[in-house]
């Protein structure tokens, strides 16, 4: 795919990977010249400390986190009170905590959380998740773009169900859905946010695992080629 960064999210919890496998993974990534970014779910302090150590070990400049877990949905004040004592540890490790917008919190609420916590925290800006809070990409970029330290490029389609009473949001290869990717990248550049663009896909489940994997692979190749074509002129300017 010729990509330079791989972000590992909570669907592959690195703290549960056996040490020999983790070491082999790190060696393989470095041999290919691929940087690793770490991600997890939940803000329990000891859990975040575990991932902070992993981020430092893997050379990840960020730790992307989704606040909510199945059993814990803290309000904004609890988020700030829980995270604030970790500020010194993240600063010492030179790792930024990247909070992902994820369904429940509105963009303005997340922006306020980040501003209360200070410069060691930023936003992992996801282009679709906030639809769960009735906010589209325009609102998310306006409110959270100035605080973005990471970007999830996730294209999507909105379709009416066959019986017409309702809508469904589904994934799409980058450039083929409703997301205006050129606008997104241009807007973030205009805000001075030079962040890694991480391709994330909502690949629909197919009749078999093998078919699902094949579709995800095809989408990934198409999406990476599309994004590389968009980003190439910007890379040329930096040379």
> What are phi and psi for residue 97, nearest 5 degrees?
-80, 120
Number of Cβ within 10 Å of residue 28's Cβ equals 10
Enter the DSSP assignment of 133.
Answer: G
Answer whether 174's CB lies under 8 Å from 157's CB.
Answer: no
What does the pLDDT read at residue 239? Answer: 58
Query: What's the rounded Cα separation, in Å, for the pair 218 and 212?
Result: 10
**Low-confidence spans in the chain with pLDDT less than 50:** none
Structure tokens at 51: 């991932």
5-238 falls under which CATH superfamily? Divalent-metal-dependent TIM barrel enzymes (3.20.20.150)
What does the pLDDT read at residue 35? Answer: 98
What does the pLDDT read at residue 1? Answer: 86
Query: What's the rounded Cα separation, in Å, for the pair 223 and 184?
Result: 15
């Amino acid at each position: 795919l010729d990509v330079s960064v791989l972000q590992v999210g909570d669907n592959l919890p690195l703290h549960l990977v056996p040490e020999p496998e983790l070491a082999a993974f790190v060696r393989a990534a470095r041999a290919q010249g691929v940087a690793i970014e770490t991600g997890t779910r939940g803000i329990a302090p000891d859990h975040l400390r575990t991932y902070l150590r992993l981020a430092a070990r893997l050379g990840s400049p960020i730790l992307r986190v989704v606040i909510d877990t199945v059993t814990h949905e803290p309000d904004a004040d609890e988020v700030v009170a829980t995270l604030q004592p970790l500020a010194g540890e993240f600063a010492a490790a030179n790792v930024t905590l990247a909070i992902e917008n994820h369904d429940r919190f509105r963009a303005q609420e997340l922006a306020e959380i980040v501003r209360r916590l200070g410069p060691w925290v930023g936003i992992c800006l996801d282009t679709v998740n906030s639809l769960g809070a009735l906010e589209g990409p325009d609102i998310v970029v306006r409110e959270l773009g100035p605080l973005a330290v990471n970007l999830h490029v996730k294209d999507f389609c909105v379709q009416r169900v066959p019986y017409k009473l309702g809508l469904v949001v589904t994934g799409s290869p980058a450039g083929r859905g409703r997301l205006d990717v050129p606008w997104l990248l241009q807007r973030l550049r205009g805000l001075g946010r030079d962040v890694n663009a991480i391709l994330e896909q909502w690949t629909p489940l197919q009749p078999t695992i093998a078919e699902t994997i094949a579709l995800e692979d095809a989408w990934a190749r198409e999406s990476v080629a599309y994004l590389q074509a968009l980003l190439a002129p910007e890379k040329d300017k930096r040379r």
